[in-house]
Structure formats: C-alpha cells, structure tokens
Amino acid sequence: MERSLAQAANQLGLTRPKLISLMRGKTLLNDQNLPAYPNRDREYLRVKDSNWFHHQLGMQYSQSTRVKQPGIRWLAEQLGLELPAIPVTNRDVA
C-alpha cells in the first residue's frame, strides 16, 4: 500500500508541511518534493507520474512522492520520530 505525503504525515502524527520540512532537512526530498535519491530510497519512496487533459492547456503532467508501506517505519527512523501507538480493538478476538 502506498500513501501520499499527507497520508504518511497523518500516520506519523505530523502535518504535511512539517513532514516535508523534516524530510528536506534530512535531504530526503528535493525542491520539488520528490525523492532526492530515488535509487537509494526506492524501497521506501517512489515518484508517481500523473497526467490529465485540460481543455485549454492540453496535456498536463505532474509528479508526486508516494511512501511505500515499509517507508513509514523507515521515515520515523530517519527523522527521529516515535510511531504513534496502534489502537487496540477487540474485533480480531475469536
């Protein structure tokens, strides 16, 4: 499962701007909020390419960073964050 930076920030107990600031501080993101080292960090982060058609401007292209499932714990370690506790539910009890 992949998450946007906003979803990853929420899971880490941060806001998106705060997560981006911390990731830039550790040189994990570049100025376009894309992975600074896409090959090194490919197990944790990836670039999502998107496109759409605009009726006046033609094809539009964008890129965004996605955090892979193992990337949540990795980000917490890289940024020195504690992962929030997972809430306990009784639904899994047999």
**Domain-by-domain residue ranges, the chain?**
3-79
Handedness of CA 12, 15, 16, 18 (dihedral sign): negative
For 10, residues 6+ apart whose C-beta sits below 8 A from its C-beta are none
Q: Angle between the 16-25 and 69-79 helix axes, to the nearest 10 degrees?
A: 60
Q: Is residue 37's pLDDT more than 90?
A: yes
pLDDT in tens, 71-85: 999 999 999 988 766
- Which of the pair, 26 or 92, is modelled with greater confidence? 26
Cβ neighbourhood burial of 81 (10 Å; 0-12, 13-18, 19+):
middle
Q: What's the whole-number mean pLDDT along residues 14-37? A: 96
